[in-house]
């Protein structure tokens, strides 16, 4: 899974750097001017030129003070929104994978995410307390790849979306995903191994939330993606939270199981 890095804050960075270069150049020219006047007779004309130079520095400083903060805010907000879009795609990929299992009738308990019990409000399921022993990498040839099972309810799965090696790790995560499902006695027919209906929970966290696993609040609320000059609430809240209901329908065996739940044999 390779994600595009389009719409990066490169333009904002270039503008910020350009403003800094202009200010530094003006300051350097004024310093050289002062050095050239040192030890020499300063005429009234030279004095006026020096004054103009100092006024120019003051104007540039005020302009930079007014321009730089909005640029920083725009850059941080754009990066935050880009991460949220990538997180949503990760969550949607997981939902699509499980929907395919349900549609084909292959959604046995062993093929589905871990059970979080008979909940009706996914926000009341606790946030991650640790990291899973499996991961999802761009390089599918790496070991310990996530296959959809073997992950506890409170474990977060590392997600790598760019395949860039960081500190020797070829699967350095940019995100963490928590996934679970509801299980209710009324959702599964007697003697059946497949649920007719269940709530799927998918949360995707930014990598910067890793250090706060185990100390996040319940109920879990998504991060507020407001205008920001920093990371906002991404350190303690997921970027994306989805709780779709999965229903096994249009299957002949589903009707049979419904009859069995009512105490009558299959027609």
- Position 28 scores a pLDDT of 67
Whether the CB-CB separation of 181 and 198 falls below 8 Å is answered with yes
Parallel, antiparallel, or unpaired for β 155-159 and 175-181?
antiparallel
Residues 119-138 pLDDT 10s: 999 999 999 999 999 999 99
Higher pLDDT, 156 or 15: 156
196-213: average pLDDT: 94
pLDDT at 6: 43
The answer to whether 145 touches 120, Cβ cutoff 8 Å, is no
What pLDDT shows up at residue 5? 44
What is the distance in angstroms between the CA of the first residue and the CA of the last residue of the chain? 45
**Residue 139: pLDDT above 60?**
yes
Extract the tokens encoding 85.
Answer: 């879009």
Contact yes or no for 62/3 (Cβ under 8 A): no
DSSP-derived 3-state class of residue 202: strand
Q: Given this model, what pLDDT does residue 62 score?
A: 77
Please choose, from the candidates 6, 4, 17, the residue with its C-alpha nearest in 3D space to the C-alpha of residue 72: 17
Does residue 154 surpass a pLDDT of 50?
yes
Residue bearing the bigger pLDDT, 260 or 143: 143
> Which of 240, 243, 236 has the alpha carbon at shortest distance from 119?
243
Q: Which two tokens stand for residue 61?
A: 């400083």
Q: Please, which pLDDT band fits residue 10 given cuts at 50, 70 and 90? A: very low
Mean pLDDT over the full length of the chain: 79
- Quote the pLDDT of residue 150: 87
The model's pLDDT over 59-91, given as tens digits with 9 standing for 90+, comes to 777 777 777 666 666 666 677 788 889 999 999
Distance CA 175, CA 161 (A): 8
Residue 122, Cβ density class (10 Å: 0-12 exposed, 13-18 middle, ≥19 buried): buried
User: Would you place residue 9 in the very low, low, confident or very high pLDDT band (cuts 50, 70, 90)?
Assistant: very low
Asked whether the predicted pLDDT for residue 11 surpasses 50, the reply is no
Q: With pLDDT > 90 as the criterion, what percentage of the chain qualifies?
A: 46
Question: H or E stretch including 130?
Answer: strand 130-131
b/e per residue 161-176 (b: at least 16 CB within 10 A): beeeeeeeeebbbbbb
CB-based burial label for 64 (10 Å; 0-12, 13-18, 19+): middle
The CA-based dihedral angle spanning residues 203, 91, 150, 122, taken in that order and rounded to the nearest 10 degrees: 40
Residue 96 sits at φ, ψ, to 5 deg, of: -60, -40
Q: How confident is the model at residue 40, as a pLDDT?
A: 52
């Amino acid at each position: 899974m390779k994600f595009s890095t389009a719409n990066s804050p490169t333009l904002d960075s270039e503008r910020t750097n350009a403003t800094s270069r202009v200010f530094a150049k003006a300051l350097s020219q004024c310093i050289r001017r002062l050095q050239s006047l040192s030890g020499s007779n300063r005429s009234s004309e030279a004095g006026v030129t020096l004054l103009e130079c100092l006024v120019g520095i003051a104007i540039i400083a005020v302009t930079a003070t007014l321009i730089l903060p909005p640029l920083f805010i725009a850059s941080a907000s754009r990066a935050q929104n880009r991460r949220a879009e990538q997180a949503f795609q990760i969550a949607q990929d997981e939902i699509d994978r499980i929907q395919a299992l349900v549609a084909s009738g292959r959604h046995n308990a062993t093929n589905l995410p871990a059970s979080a019990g008979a909940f009706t409000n996914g926000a009341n399921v606790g946030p991650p307390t640790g990291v899973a022993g499996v991961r999802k990498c761009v390089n599918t040839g790496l070991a310990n790849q996530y296959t959809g099972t073997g992950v506890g309810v409170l474990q977060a799965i590392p997600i790598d979306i760019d395949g860039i090696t960081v500190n020797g790790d070829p699967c350095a995560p940019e995100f963490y995903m928590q996934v679970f499902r509801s299980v209710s006695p009324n959702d599964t027919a007697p003697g059946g191994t497949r649920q007719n209906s269940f709530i799927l929970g998918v949360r995707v966290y930014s990598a910067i939330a890793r250090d706060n696993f185990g100390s996040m609040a319940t109920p879990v609320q998504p991060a507020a993606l407001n205008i920001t000059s920093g990371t906002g609430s991404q350190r303690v809240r997921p970027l994306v939270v989805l709780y779709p209901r999965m229903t096994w329908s249009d299957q002949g065996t589903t009707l049979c199981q419904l009859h069995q739940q009512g105490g009558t044999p299959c027609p």
